[in-house]
Every structure is written in structure tokens, then in C-alpha cells.
Amino acid sequence: MNWDWDKLQEKRDRQQRQRPVRPERDDRDTFDHDRSDEDARTRRPSPGPRGGSSGPHFSMPRMRLPNGLMLGGGAALLVLLWLLSGIYIVNPGEEGVVLRFGKYNRTVGPGPHYALPSPIETVYKPQVARIMRSEVGYRSAGESRTFQQGQVRGIPAEASMLTGDENIVNVQFSVQYRIADPVAYLFNVYEPDAMVRNAAEAAMREVIGNSLIDAAITDGKLQIQAEATQLLQTILDRYGAGIDVIAVQLQDVHPPDEVRDAFKDVASAREDKSRIINEAEAYRNELLPRARGEAAALRNEAEAYRAMRVQNAEGAAARFAAVSEEYAKAPRVTGQRLYYEAVEDILKNAGDKVVLDGKIPEKVLPYLPLPGLKGAQPATGGTEKK
């Protein structure tokens, strides 16, 4: 009986494909079973004299990788990925704080670094160059953090403070700070932002309690800011917070709403007083230099006049001494010469001159219109007008 071996083989192949897959038992049984199935599928009878198959024909089985080796490769890949997860980058303006089994180990700067993967080592990256801000007495609305009317929400419980003269004032201020020691900032305090706000409120209450309300509202704000900054830094250093306070800035200082109008009037009066004082100071600063200049000019003129008079007197004294010495040598000649010089000094400044010779002066009335001599008639009896 001749069998159609090709059709029989195709039927067996279809049955093998439709057969459900049995669960695997172990590596050896699975490998042997797969090899027996492969042998059964590839075994073909040899062809007979009429084109049929005269006997079975065997082909080489296909090799498969054991499941244990595949699991080992997957585990090695997972270990490699776990080791590579320790690579991290610290950005500019940050510092990397590395903990090993929860204990501080080291601090690294910006750049790529490697740490043993979690849970062996843990990395924190605080932003040490960032200027942070804490608000006391109010909260800004939105991300702009600008203090403008209508964009803030007051916190009366934080803003209400008592001054040194037992007056109530509402103080709204902000604190600017940065991280100075990242290790202390991360592990010495809990919730550092809330701690900074509470410490700033305590420091400001102490400073306001030592100040008068007039200074807090008008011209004492700069001193209050400086004292609050120094006191807040002292408190944070005592806590070991690792925070450096940059500035404390007063945003708004005003009395309660019930007495705000009265305080505005007082502040206006103080401003008027300061304005008037400044105007008086300006007038004084303008007048005093001018008076000092005039006094210096008068003093210089007096000094010059004194020096001139002294020098003239000294010259006259020296001339008199010289003439006296010459008079002692020749009294008659020197006396006549002095008489001529004296007459010359008298007559050189006279405009009109009247000379009477001989006995004429005895007959003439000794009254002459000397001031109006040009209009007078010359006297008779030998008068000569020069």
C-alpha cells in the first residue's frame, strides 16, 4: 500500500501548531522534550521507487540558549544600571551634600560627580547662591513678590507690635537671606523657612519694643532695620541654622486704623517742623559766609591802614631826626630852609594869593572875603593880586 507521506507530514505539522503548550518543568526536561519534538517534526521517510518514501529521514536539531544563562545576563544588566544611577550633576549655584547610610560624608561643588547608588548614599543639592525671602506681617499675591497696594494680604497677628512708649503699631517687613552652610541648613533645623520667619518676628518685636512710635513711623526706620538685621543674625547663629541674613527691609509701618488720622496729622506737623528747620539752616549757611567775608575784608583794610600810618609816622620821625641833626650843625641856614619849605607847603595848595607889602597891612581891615576871593575887588594902596 502506497502512502502519501507529504500530505501526512503536513497534517502532523498542523496538529503540532494547534497543540497547546505544556508548562515547563526544568531545563533538562524541556530541552529533551523540545529536541524530541524537533526530531519528530523533521524526521521524513526516504522516497520509494514510485516517488514515495522508503524510510525515515532525520535533520539537525536547532539549539536554544538555557533559561539560567538568560536570567544571569538580565541580572548583570540590572546591576550595571543600578551602578550607573549613581552619576549626578551639581548645577552652578548649588552644592552637593552626600550622606552615606544617613550620615554626612562630604560636600562637593558644581559639576558631574558620582555617589554610590541608593540606598547606600543620598545626595542633596541646596541652592546656596539663591537669595531667599521671608515675609512677616503680610503675604504677597502672585509670583512677583512686589509690595504694591492691592497686591498684599495683611497678617494682623504678625504685624501688630508694641512700642517702647506703649503704643500699638502695625509693622510689615521682609527678610532677605541665603544659605551660608548647606550642611547646617539641611540637618540642624527643621523647616528653616518657618524658623526664619518666627525668628525675624521675634527680633523685630524686641527692636520695636525698645523704640518710640514716632521714630518707627518717621525718621527711625533705618536704625530699626539695622538693629533687627544684627539681632536676627545673632539668633540664627545661636540656632546653628547656617543662614546668612542679607537685609531686613520695612515695607509699611502705620498705627492702627482707629488712630491713623491723628498720627498722620502729627507726622505732617513733624515734617513741617523739619522743613522749617532746614530752611532756617539754609538761610544761616548762606548768611554766615557772607558776613565772615565782609568781616575779613574790614579787618584787612584796618590792617592796611594801620600799617600805612605806622610807616608814615616812622618816616616822619626819621625825617625829623635827620633835620634836627642838620639844624644842630647850622641853625640859621637850616631854620631859613625850614621856613621856606613850610611856606611852600602852605601856598602850593592855595588857588588865589594876596600879598601886602610894607606898612599896607596896618591900614587894611583884617577881613578879606577869602572864600569868594575871585569875585572880590582888589584893595587900593599897593595891593597885588597873584
pLDDT in tens, 257-281: 777 788 778 778 878 998 999 999 9
171: domain CATH number is: 3.30.479.30
DSSP class of 211 = S
| Total count of domains within the chain | 4
Q: Compute the distance between CA of residue 235 and CA of residue 239 in angstroms, rounded to an integer.
A: 6
Please check whether residues 170 and 245 belong to one and the same domain. yes
Cell numbers placing 220: 527711625
Q: Is residue 343 part of a domain?
A: no
Please check whether residues 60 and 76 belong to one and the same domain. no
Cell numbers placing 171: 509693622
- Decide which of 64, 83, 112 is a domain's last residue: 64
**Owning domain of residue 10:** 5-64
* Preceding omega of 119 cis (within 30 degrees of 0): yes
Q: Is residue 326 part of a domain?
A: no
Degrees to nearest 5, angle at CA 48 with 42 and 52: 65
What is the model's pLDDT at position 338?
84
Cβ-based neighbours of 118, under 8 Å, separated by 6 or more: 85
349 or 28: which leads in pLDDT: 349
User: Which stretch, 27-36, 79-88, 192-201, 207-216, has highest mean pLDDT?
Assistant: 192-201
Please check whether residues 139 and 248 belong to one and the same domain. yes
What beta strand segments (E) does 149-284 contain? Answer: 152-154, 160-162, 168-179, 243-254
Please check whether residues 81 and 179 belong to one and the same domain. no
Cβ-based neighbours of 183, under 8 Å, separated by 6 or more: 97, 104, 107, 242
What is the model's pLDDT at position 248?
93
pLDDT digits (tens, 9 = 90+) for 72-81: 778 888 888 8
Contact 180, 243 (CB under 8 A): yes
Please check whether residues 144 and 162 belong to one and the same domain. yes
Please check whether residues 222 and 153 belong to one and the same domain. yes
What is the model's pLDDT at position 369?
59
Please check whether residues 232 and 192 belong to one and the same domain. yes
By the 10 Å C-beta count (0-12 exposed, 13-18 middle, 19+ buried), 34 is classed as: middle
What beta strand segments (E) does the chain contain? Answer: 44-47, 53-57, 87-90, 96-100, 103-108, 111-114, 121-124, 132-136, 138-140, 152-154, 160-162, 168-179, 243-254, 354-355, 384-385
**Residue 370 pLDDT > 80:** no
Please check whether residues 184 and 210 belong to one and the same domain. yes
Please check whether residues 155 and 223 belong to one and the same domain. yes
Q: Is residue 103 part of a domain?
A: yes
- Decide which of 124, 146, 164 is a domain's last residue: 124
- Decide which of 223, 255, 287 is a domain's last residue: 255
Q: Is residue 307 part of a domain?
A: no
What is the model's pLDDT at position 365?
66
Please check whether residues 32 and 112 belong to one and the same domain. no
Q: Is residue 140 part of a domain?
A: yes
